[in-house]
Chain A
Amino acid sequence: MKHVIVGAGPAGVIAAETLRNIDRRSEVVLIGDEPEPPYSRMALPYYLIEKIDESGTYLRKEATHYSHKNIDIIRDRVRELDPQAKTLRLENDAPINYDKLLIATGSHPVSPPIAGMDLPGIHPCWTLEDGRNIVQRAKPGAHVVLMGAGFIGCIILEALALRKVNLTVIEMEDRMVPRMMDQTAGTMIKDWCLHKGVAVHTSTRVEAIEQGAGETLKVKLSNGNELDADLLISATGVATNIDFLAGSGLATDAGVLVNDRLQSNDPDIYAAGDVCQGKDFSTGDYTVQAIQPTAADHGRIAAMNMAGKETVHQGCVNMNVLDTMGLISSSYGLWMGSDGGESAMLCDSNRFRYLNLQFEDDVLVGAQALGMTQHVGVLRGLIQTRLKLGKWKDHLLQDPTRIMEAYLANTQAIGHNAGVI
């Protein structure tokens, strides 16, 4: 059996390792189109602040990890998939055939339709190569414009601030991280950044970029202002890497469409990670989540199914955690609430503390937290186990900070549990 995996990010690497562990005699081939050993984009902000060097971003630290596991790594780019011939055509190497194929090609930054986006000094922050380019220009005191304050923008924001650049953030929506936090929390994150000396303009667009004096850029904003910049970082969203599937007959929408085995409409082809439109635990809908824990789950479950060990994917809880210059935020599941649900909220804007819980009956279905770093994972646990909170839901409506007690009271030997354990 020959397993071929396209994409050497977390989903691809975990799938390759899982296949090797459960199917020792099969051939496992991992194709990636970047020159470095498989690395984590999640770690790039920490590379930018020189907390780690390039090797600190590598998914696996041992240089011999892949050869030791007998996983073949091919550095090339897949141009075309031919499912009838079960063949991949590559940019440089000879075509490669497969018995089972995993598409884990992730996503790429989308460049917004703005005049001047092709000028030098404009970079996304997506690859290690982008990271090197940003380090070159983001020197202390340099004027840097960050376009986009979504999750990726915000995670880079912290790194840029620590590099002591003169930073301006432009976000076209009305708050920061609009797809992760609500109006209250997103506005608190903005206020926090302003307190820390970062200029943040929400409900503002970049209208055009022109060459300025020397190597600088002129950035024209929708509010009429004009900024001089040594560097513009574009973080305005991503799209899945599915272009190479055009004409293959593989069903795609926002990403590769799969069933609850992560199997595409071709039974020998699976998808995992950011490129995969997989099941969402909370809604039951199939969506592209593009988060690290989902990539890890997908990689493992797709590999199990590829190796013939049928494993049903229950759906992943959409969740994110973000550190914006020391203010830590996280959100889970149906953080925006659900129809007919109830919510509990605690908000202290002056101290930058916020906790918002969303319930359906006595089950937690979503949450947002700001300024909280202790035991936050239990929010995921409560959502994913659909634990019935009973009277503890009323306690939480009074005081949402008691989530750990609510969890323990329903699972440990106290109260009504004490007699049986």
Chain B
Amino acid sequence: MLKSLQIEPEKCTGCLQCEVACSYQATSLFNPSISRIKIFTFHEEGRFVPYTCTQCNEAWCLHACPVEAIVVNEATGAKEVIDDICVGCKVCTIACPFGTVNYSQNTGTVYKCDLCGGDPECAKACPTQAITYVDSDHGGLERMRAHAEQNLPQDAQ
């Protein structure tokens, strides 16, 4: 069974340990600004939202790539960037409607979450289980249903 990152923003304290762990795993640097997972801060609501690639089935990034530099890791389901093949054209960065593929001017290539090959550091670093690595269909249907119902017009409910 494929696993995926489950993110529960209500549990996030904004400690940024995920960003530190991610950047170190991916680049050997402690540099949250190049982390593949990002924590967005909502001061007014007093909330933090961890956010990264969901490894979506549509894989807009992969289909938009003109040189086959983004491939599916069959073991993890992650869409991975092959640095040696990426030419840095950035088409994937505008094609991904979730905004989770970014370009690095330092490397001249794009980068995104690759689930650390199946052992994501962000989930291990998170002290409050706001980020967990779980079976892909765990709770997903209920969450989607709840969200869909919320968006129905009032008289349709």
| Residues of A participating in the B interface, judged by any CB pair closer than 8 Å | 10, 14, 40, 42-43, 46, 51-52, 56-61, 292-293, 296-297, 300, 319-321, 323, 326, 328, 330, 332, 373-381, 384-385, 404-405, 407-409, 412-415, 417-418, 420-421
- For B89, the chain A residues whose CB sits under 8 A away are 42-43, 46, 321
B97 touching A378, Cβ below 8 Å: yes
B150 touching A409, Cβ below 8 Å: no
Question: Can you give 9 A-B contacts (C-beta < 8 A)?
Answer: A42-B89, A46-B88, A57-B67, A60-B68, A321-B93, A321-B94, A378-B98, A414-B9, A415-B45
Give Cα A408–Cα B100 distance, bound, in whole angstroms. Answer: 12
- For A384, the chain B residues whose CB sits under 8 A away are 97
Cross-interface CB contact of A377 among B10, B98, B105, cutoff 8 Å: B98
B91 touching A374, Cβ below 8 Å: no
A42 touching B66, Cβ below 8 Å: yes
Q: How many A-B residue pairs have CB under 8 A?
A: 143
Give Cα A102–Cα B109 distance, bound, in whole angstroms. Answer: 33
Q: Is the interface of B mostly helix, strand, loop or mixed?
A: mixed
B interface residues, tally (CB under 8 Å) = 42
B66 touching A420, Cβ below 8 Å: no
B149 touching A420, Cβ below 8 Å: yes
B97 touching A385, Cβ below 8 Å: yes
Give Cα A346–Cα B143 distance, bound, in whole angstroms. Answer: 36
Inter-chain pairs besides A373-B103, A377-B100, A378-B98, 15 sampled, C-beta below 8 Å = A46-B88, A51-B88, A300-B63, A319-B94, A375-B38, A379-B94, A381-B99, A405-B42, A408-B40, A412-B49, A412-B51, A413-B8, A413-B9, A414-B47, A420-B146
A421 touching B87, Cβ below 8 Å: no
Give Cα A83–Cα B71 distance, bound, in whole angstroms. Answer: 38
When A43-B67, A60-B68, A292-B66 are in contact, do A381 and B102 touch as well, CB less than 8 Å?
no
When A407-B99, A417-B150 are in contact, do A321 and B68 touch as well, CB less than 8 Å?
no
Question: Which of A14, A60, A61, A320: most chain B Cβ within 10 A?
Answer: A61
A375 touching B102, Cβ below 8 Å: yes
Give Cα A297–Cα B102 distance, bound, in whole angstroms. Answer: 21
Give Cα A407–Cα B88 distance, bound, in whole angstroms. Answer: 26
Interchain nearest-CB distance for A191 vs B (Å): 19
Interchain nearest-CB distance for A43 vs B (Å): 5
Cross-interface CB contact of B99 among A52, A58, A377, cutoff 8 Å: A377
Give Cα A10–Cα B91 distance, bound, in whole angstroms. Answer: 13
A375 touching B64, Cβ below 8 Å: no
B97 touching A56, Cβ below 8 Å: no
Interchain nearest-CB distance for A394 vs B (Å): 12
B66 touching A43, Cβ below 8 Å: yes
- For A378, the chain B residues whose CB sits under 8 A away are 97-99
A420 touching B150, Cβ below 8 Å: yes
A380 touching B97, Cβ below 8 Å: yes
- For A417, the chain B residues whose CB sits under 8 A away are 147, 150
A377 touching B93, Cβ below 8 Å: yes
A377 touching B45, Cβ below 8 Å: no
A420 touching B147, Cβ below 8 Å: yes
Give Cα A320–Cα B40 distance, bound, in whole angstroms. Answer: 26
Q: Nearest 3 CB-CB pairs, A to B?
A: A381-B97, A378-B99, A375-B99
Cross-interface CB contact of B10 among A43, A57, A321, A418, cutoff 8 Å: A418
A321 touching B87, Cβ below 8 Å: no
Any chain A CB within 8 A of the CB of B108? yes
- For A380, the chain B residues whose CB sits under 8 A away are 94-97
Interchain nearest-CB distance for B117 vs A (Å): 21
When A61-B68, A61-B85 are in contact, do A377 and B63 touch as well, CB less than 8 Å?
no
Any chain A CB within 8 A of the CB of B5? no
Any chain A CB within 8 A of the CB of B3? no
Give Cα A291–Cα B146 distance, bound, in whole angstroms. Answer: 37
Interchain nearest-CB distance for B122 vs A (Å): 16
- For B98, the chain A residues whose CB sits under 8 A away are 377-378, 381
Interchain nearest-CB distance for B37 vs A (Å): 12
A-contact 0/1 string along B51-90, CB 8 Å cutoff: 1000000001001101110000000000000000101111
